[in-house]
A and B are shown apart, each in its own frame.
Chain A
Amino acid sequence: MANSSSSRPDFSGQTALAGIASSTSANPDGGTIGLVFGEMAHLGKLNLRGQNGLAKAVKAITGCTFPPKANRFQSAGERHVIWLAPDEYLLLCEAGKEQELQDSLNSMITSSHFAITDVSDSLCALSLRGPSVRAVLAKGCGLDLHPDQFTAGQSAQSLLALSAVTLMAVADDAFILICRTSFAPYVQRWLADAALEYGYQYKA
């Protein structure tokens, strides 16, 4: 009775930040907005385990050079392959394409020693851009985020305000931040608070 299907909440199609107001902004001092950010809703994410046996298939299917060097990512259009560890990579793709990609990778890889896991709903990706993006991130992260040190094309797994994140520098003033779905509302609120002095705009 308690678990009858009609009373079960329907989470299908829900995004990690669905519970948060879809559009907020603050710019107390006026002037240029320091940070514009939003969720990359339903972005496809595949975790790849394996080594050189993956190279041919990943190159052919995503167009990204593989493997990326340590602490770096390779991109081709909207697809990115991020280095996570010596035998572990994260593949980002257009929303809804993850199943198709997973199937074609599985069928094309001849090596018997690999694993591809769909982690799209386990992780939440946020896109961050604006002149103050590095200043905001530096408030909660121990990495050297100076544009000379953390250049476009570099990525790192680290802690942002005590939550585990993967940072990708897409350009000097643009980042992709990936965190656990369960941490997403916290990270979103932390970013909004940290960016308050520079002015921010959040749009889901």
Chain B
Amino acid sequence: MLIITCPFCGPRDEVEFACGGEAHIARPLADNKISDADFADYLFMRDNPKGLFLERWRHSAGCRRWFNVARDTVSNEIVEIYPMGSLPAKTAAKTTYKTSWRRDTAAEKAATPSRSKAGGSK
């Protein structure tokens, strides 16, 4: 069994946690028109790597708060635990984030407001 260090409660057994799957999947904005095929990347496609993987976890039997975990799917080693809404800081986890196929998808590019419409500012 894994011992996972909840950022709020400290080290606890894996049974107290629920895994929420892949982290850092940004929802395309309604303003940005993309094709159904591109939207499917956001909605259905999930990574299943052998090696380092960035996941969301929730301490469901404890404080019930979400956080991110960079976990090696081969050795189960937890490389980094970092808050929701932020990016990993460790080099290996950073590389995993940057090299993910998802960074190049039209769905992810459509998740930030398009410049032409951004409220008058340049």
Contacts and interface: CB of A to CB of B under 8 A. Distances in A.
Interface of A: 70-71, 84-86, 88, 142-143, 156-159, 164
DSSP class of B's interface residues: helix, strand, loop or mixed?
A: loop
A85 B65 contact: yes
Interface in B1-35: 8-10, 12-13, 15-16
A72 B12 CA distance: 16
B51 interface: no
Contact of A85 (B8, B10, B15, B61): B8
Contact of A142 (B8, B10, B15, B64): B15
A157 B8 contact: no
A159 B63 contact: no
11 contacts: A70-B9, A70-B10, A84-B63, A85-B8, A85-B65, A142-B12, A142-B15, A143-B12, A158-B12, A158-B16, A158-B62
Interface of B: 8-10, 12-13, 15-16, 61-65
A157 B15 contact: no
Contacts of B61: 157-159, 164
A1 B10 CA distance: 55
Contact of B63 (A85, A142, A143): A85
Given A70-B8, A157-B9, A85 B64 contact: yes
A143 B9 CA distance: 12
A157 B15 CA distance: 13
Given A85-B8, A86-B8, A157 B63 contact: yes
10 A-B pairs closest in CB distance:
A85-B63, A142-B13, A157-B62, A159-B61, A164-B61, A85-B65, A86-B8, A158-B61, A71-B9, A70-B8
Contacts of A142: 12-13, 15-16
Contacts of A88: 63
Nearest to B13: A142
A159 B61 CA distance: 7
Contacts of B64: 85
